[in-house]
Structure 1
Amino acid sequence: MDRSIYVATSGVKQTMDAMSTSANNLANVSTTGFRAQIESYTSVPVTGEGLNTRAMAVSSTVSSDFKPGPLQPTDNPLDIAVQNEGWIAVTGKDGKEAYTRNGALVVEQGILKNVQGLAVRGDGGPIKVPTDTTLMIGADGTISGTQAGINSTTVQVLGRIKLVNPPTKSLERGEDGLFRTKGGGAAAPDAKVKLVSGALEGSNVNPVEEMVNMISLAREFEMHTKMLQTMDTQTGKADQLLTLT
């Protein structure tokens, strides 16, 4: 009987965690460049006195779905999207290199940043943009621009966005939503990564699949709860029989 309690108790906890992950995915359906989270479980034995006949469910490390999201044209020259695989390098709030697929860029205080206010990394550090400069972003990440006034037709190369493509198994998602290498090091630039200018990548979350998953998880939660109630009822009846004897 107590084996059922272990299974049901751990099932309730892991189902609640999975529902939280699914809810987070649904909340980010409209987040640019968002990568859906994937919850997975495994069965592990419970060791202790007596025979190791008990088992419980535990969640493994939450992984991410790295398939590309849909491209959404914006006609904004500062909006970029990564074609297929690859990442845009930025400087996180901790000062270390991080990676994102969100290519909505802005110029603040003469520095090219993303909409989160993080500096976009270039080949030699932050990309500086002179005042009154109209920017153009090439497929290879090259930033060029023309400055208003004198020599307004002269195109100047200001830098190149650092584009990387480390193995997905080497990446982990931070609490800020950015990805970093598991060792904390910086990934090498990859010339094969290409950009699309004037477009943004949408979230790769499928809202229909997530809603179906939420319904399934709700039913699992109800099943585990009923199992616990059944075990409680049976335990009470067993106590009554023992009292009679």
Structure 2
Amino acid sequence: MDRALYIAATGARELMRRQDIQTNNLSNALTPGFRAEVAAQRTAPVIGGAGLRTRAYAVESTPGADLSAGPMMATGRDLDVAIQGDGWFAVRTPDGGEAYTRAGGFETTPEGMLVDPAGRPVLDPNGEVIMIPPDTKVQVNADGSISSVPEVDRVQAAQIANLKLVNPPANAVERGPDGLFRLRQGGVAPMAQEVRVAGGMIEGSNVSAVDTMVEMIAAARHYDVQIQLMQNSDQNQRAATQILSMS
């Protein structure tokens, strides 16, 4: 097979992968706390065989995620919490580890456990699961502390727990297959006292539906170009074969 045909075929394949990434981003445009996955291509030389490396092809990769903040939306719900600026909530994964998310639409289980929208337990600064006493109205303060709202016969609110808020460097975290972020080198991030949250708010996805649609259209057009190159390469091969057969 001619190398030009191979390069065009691999280009079409990688553009299909880009479409998959953009489709996933677009499908999460309304998912609270979602971080858009970045799609990028890198050049890879064609290796193998004799002769000079006169051709190269593109390989689709996902070097990271867009960690910019999403829009803040007021809900008025007690357990909806949004991080202001940089930072993450800590949750426990099914394997017992610790991971980080920006999705602050928390719920409580019948047992009183505080969980994220996917049902994962929310952690306190000691790495323990946060429990909310039954029939307790709570509020989340700016420093991540959770307090009971005083009733008429109460004089002072009681602090129930604290959210574990972390703020590792952007280049120190990576997205996992489950959509959660973890430290690249493993381990757990320390508590960050400077992180602030807003109760009664929730952070939306940072995916721009319009920009993503434009990128998908551009990828589709580039895919058509690769298909055209494949067709041209095939026509050139047929023409060369006819010329050789006549000689």
Q: Give the alignment's TM-score, normalised by structure 1.
A: 0.94
Look up the equivalent residue of 1:174 and give its one-letter code. Answer: G
Deviates more, 1:133-142 or 1:3-12: 3-12
Count residues in correspondence: 244
Partner in structure 2 of residue 102 of structure 1: 103
Q: Deviations over 1:121-154 (max 9, x none)?
A: 10221111111111111111001115879x6555
RMSD: 1.7
Q: Secondary structure at the match of 2:104?
A: coil
- Is 1:36–1:205's contact at 8 Å kept on the other side of the alignment? yes
1:203 aligns with 2:205: yes
Would you identify which runs of 4 or more consecutive aligned residues in structure 1 move more than 4 Å? 146-149, 151-154
Partner in structure 1 of residue 134 of structure 2: 131
Deviates more, 1:170-179 or 1:72-81: 170-179
Q: Secondary structure at the match of 2:89?
A: strand
1:232 aligns with 2:229: no
CA distance in 2, matches of 1:57, 1:202: 33
- Is 2:15–2:223's contact at 8 Å kept on the other side of the alignment? yes
Partner in structure 2 of residue 88 of structure 1: 89
Shift of 1:178: 0.8
CA distance in 1, matches of 2:154, 2:149: 6
CA distance in 2, matches of 1:179, 1:94: 14
CA distance in 1, matches of 2:174, 2:219: 25
Deviates more, 1:57-66 or 1:133-142: 57-66
Q: Give the alignment's TM-score, normalised by structure 2.
A: 0.94
Shift of 1:111: 1.1
Shift of 1:181: 0.9
Q: Secondary structure at the match of 1:42?
A: strand
Deviates more, 1:17-26 or 1:60-69: 60-69
Q: Deviations over 1:219-242 (max 9, x none)?
A: 000000010011111111111111
- Is 1:133–1:148's contact at 8 Å kept on the other side of the alignment? no
Look up the equivalent residue of 2:139 and give its one-letter code. Answer: M
CA distance in 2, matches of 1:79, 1:133: 16
CA distance in 2, matches of 1:71, 1:198: 10
CA distance in 2, matches of 1:146, 1:74: 18
- Is 1:5–1:228's contact at 8 Å kept on the other side of the alignment? yes
Shift of 1:171: 1.1
Give identity over the alignment, percent: 39
Shift of 1:6: 3.2
Q: Secondary structure at the match of 1:123?
A: coil
Partner in structure 2 of residue 143 of structure 1: 146
Partner in structure 2 of residue 37 of structure 1: 37
Q: Deviations over 1:25-62 (max 9, x none)?
A: 11011000111111111111112121222311112334
Gap regions ≥5 residues in structure 2: none
Q: Secondary structure at the match of 2:137?
A: strand
CA distance in 1, matches of 2:37, 2:83: 20
- Cα distance, 1:203–1:34 mapped onto 2, change above 3 Å: same
Gap regions ≥5 residues in structure 1: none
CA distance in 2, matches of 1:153, 1:25: 48
